[in-house]
Structure 1
């Protein structure tokens, strides 16, 4: 009997995803509402598929993906998220995800992705990559975002939402000093004048 884990902190989203999965023949459906629940649940129930959001409490989806890859557990991961695919899809591919579906699409895309992944295929959107399809500012800013590590990108999003260093540290299990170091790196790599300008940068690039 096919089993699956839905990892998302929103109950309404989990309920919608569950309906899609039931139509795809899954009967054993497990749920996790925060990132640090994912790997223990995989180890306990051995699902063949994980439907993973990237934004969750305690451990973000990119960290979860890295931990799944390093643990060699035999499951495939379908990322289902509201994060901008232009910046996150390739990172998820490199981290071992088999599919990336945006929550802004209708659920038919999720149906197709689940079907493809279970048949042994991958499912990713075709994204603009050339300077012709991206204007000069978007192209240069995307290149800057691409230089950020996964953790730096996550911290950029927290900072852009106005979250304090102290709270970021508590959320990500990092010291205040470490968060401050990451903050300095992000400001330097994105070539903004100060942390105040990070919000504008993030909004312009649909990162928040």
Structure 2
């Protein structure tokens, strides 16, 4: 079972994503509210997959991706963000993201993005 960390400053989004992932057979081991929180929790929980928002307080998702890649270059990061502009998608992939899902997301897109990593 793949272990997931959900990183988003919206508790509603975290809950929605968690529900989808658990139903799909993933184990959500931890949630983080921003990039700094994600970096601290990544080292403690060592998840297989990280879902990452881009716009968050303290440390944005792009910078958090870069830091997580320094810790573990093999980490799988799926960006889930309302910033669907091409420039943000490009920045996410250049930073090391594995996939990108635009909010508001369709459940099928989330499932497809996470199952691709399996």
Which structure has more strand as a fraction of its residues?
2
State how many pairs are aligned: 118
Hey, what's the Cα distance between the residues in 1 that align with 2:27 and 2:72? 24
Show the counterpart of 1:111: 111
1:85 to partner: Cα distance: 3.2
Unaligned runs of 5+ in 2: none
> Any runs of at least 4 consecutive aligned residues in structure 1 with deviations exceeding 3 A, and if so which?
none
Show the counterpart of 2:50: 50
Hey, what's the Cα distance between the residues in 2 that align with 1:24 and 1:73? 26
Which structure has more helix as a fraction of its residues?
1
- Where do 1:14-53 residues align within 5 Å? 14-53=14-53
Q: Which has the higher contact order (CA 8 A, sep 6+)?
A: 2
Hey, what's the Cα distance between the residues in 2 that align with 1:96 and 1:8? 18
Unaligned runs of 5+ in 1: 120-208
- Structural RMSD (CA): 1.4
Moved more, 2-11 or 26-35: 26-35
1:28 to partner: Cα distance: 4.0
Larger Rg: 1
Show the counterpart of 2:96: 96
Contact 1:35 1:59 survives alignment (8 Å)? yes
Contact 1:3 1:48 survives alignment (8 Å)? yes
1:63 to partner: Cα distance: 0.6
